Amino acid sequence: MSSDIIVSPPYYDSIAAAHGDQEKSPPLEQDIPQVSSGSVTAGYRSAKYSPAEWFSNYQTILEQAGTNHHKAQNIKQKSRTLSQDTEAAALKTQAEGTRLLGERLQEIHYWKSELQRHIEHLQADTESLLMLKKRLERSLDSTETPYAIATDNLTCRARRLGAELVRDIVEEELVKEVDLIRSIQALLEKTAAQIVAQIKRNREAQQTLEMDWSDKCQAYSFDDASGRHSNMSPDTQQHPSSATMQEQVSTPSSWTQFTQDNLSKAMQEEQATNNLRMLVEQMLQDITDDLRVQCTRVDRAFSLRCEDLIEAKTQLEMKLVQTLEQIGSQERNIEALQQAIHNKEAPLRVAQSRLYLRSLRPNMELCRDQPQLSLEAEVKQIDATLESLKHKLSEARSSLSHLEESRMALQKDINCKTHSLFIEREKCMTYRKRYPTISALSGY
């Protein structure tokens, strides 16, 4: 039997051990038996328990073991229940997160599809505006031809001669055509600038949508990859800092509002593009109609002017023929008058000779007899006839001079009208056949 001092076993709290608390030993009980008195039994009786103490000690151990066993069973049961509950909660939370990720993917896909649709619309609108801009440029280029035609017509008509240089209906219509073409050119240039500005706004809106679409594609990829993660995924790892709230993050409402604002801006630009496209189409149709109507008016004025010139030229030519005939007749009349005057010279000489000879009669023979009176009357008659013939000859010569002046005026006017007719028909109207077609004026 050992003589060592027997002490109670260390105190172990199983509940504290289950919670990870550090083991603590209670203070030693101060129930060590007192050393027996007496020197004879000192080696056998010192530091020993009594039977009652021995029994109490192992009963205490048994009770403590039972208590610890009960506590261990309770903790194990609660641990199993807690494990099952946390496992179910974790699976439920994970399933809820997966469901929410799926819903989020559907939402992102919807907005991504809307963004893609409006991006395609903006791209198509921009392409249509670029084609419309080319049409405007071609239409603007095509207006140079009618402008050159109208200005050339005015320049050619400025070379008309004399009284033909008149501000007639043709010139008024040509001036209207030049003013119309200038206003149309200014309108086309202004509209082309509007189209360029609209193209710029469309591209800015498209760029904004493309950036939003790209961000949503990345977000969709991340959320899709997140939704595919499971407890068996080998590529998962711990990221403790990812659960902390990040600064400057959007809320679902601000996230939706941001995309809606971008789409609203895009739809505004789409509507503006559609309105501008309709406006330009109508404008091209209107300017084409206006130019063709004005061209028709100018052509009609040219035709009427040519008809007037032809009619006037015909009348002048007819009058010239009559004048030439009259000149010939007058020339013959002058010749006849001259001949008549010449024919009166002989009778006048005869009568004057007779009077002269009879004036030589002597003395009483110088009598104013009937022959003398007849001869004097004859001389007076011949003188009066000659005076009348000479007067008529002067009138005939004056008339011939006037007829010659009329002939020259008629010929000059005919030449002027022939020159004007050449300008109107050969220069102007022939050149106007190069007027652009309706399709060319419309920019096709």
What DSSP string runs through 179-217?
Answer: HHHHHHHHHHHHHHHHHHHHHHHHHHHHHHHHHHHHHHH
Same domain? For 263 and 295 the reply is: yes
Is 75 a member of any domain? yes
Looking at every residue in the chain, the average pLDDT score rounds to 86
pLDDT in tens, 160-202: 888 888 888 999 999 999 999 999 999 999 999 999 999 999 9
Cβ(395)–Cβ(333) below 8 Å: no
Is 244 a member of any domain? no
Is 421 a member of any domain? yes
Same domain? For 65 and 158 the reply is: no
Same domain? For 175 and 264 the reply is: yes
Domain count, the chain: 2
Q: Say which range, 4-13, 72-81, 300-309, has the weakest mean pLDDT.
A: 4-13
Same domain? For 68 and 116 the reply is: no
Instruction: Provide the pLDDT confidence category of residue 45 given band limits of 50, 70 and 90.
Output: low
Is 429 a member of any domain? yes
Instruction: Provide the pLDDT confidence category of residue 46 given band limits of 50, 70 and 90.
Output: low
Q: Is the pLDDT of residue 377 over 60?
A: yes
What pLDDT is attached to residue 44?
57
pLDDT in tens, 300-339: 999 999 999 999 999 999 999 999 999 999 999 999 999 9
How far apart CA 145 and CA 441 sit, in angstroms, is 10
Same domain? For 181 and 309 the reply is: yes
Same domain? For 153 and 205 the reply is: yes
Q: Which of 80, 108, 138 is the last residue of a domain?
A: 80
Q: DSSP string of 230-268?
A: -TT-TT----GGGGSPPSS---HHHHHHHHHHHHHHHHH
What pLDDT is attached to residue 246?
67
Same domain? For 181 and 41 the reply is: no
Average pLDDT over residues 274-291: 93
Q: Which of 47, 80, 113 is the last residue of a domain?
A: 80
Same domain? For 139 and 115 the reply is: yes
Q: Which domain holds residue 155?
A: 96-227+259-339+408-444
How far apart CA 115 and CA 266 sit, in angstroms, is 9
How far apart CA 336 and CA 397 sit, in angstroms, is 12
pLDDT in tens, 91-136: 898 889 889 989 989 999 999 999 999 999 999 999 999 999 999 9
Is 53 a member of any domain? yes
How far apart CA 225 and CA 90 sit, in angstroms, is 20
Same domain? For 157 and 295 the reply is: yes
Is 21 a member of any domain? yes
pLDDT in tens, 428-444: 888 888 888 888 888 88
Is 299 a member of any domain? yes
Same domain? For 41 and 151 the reply is: no
Same domain? For 107 and 57 the reply is: no
What three-state secondary structure class fits 40? coil
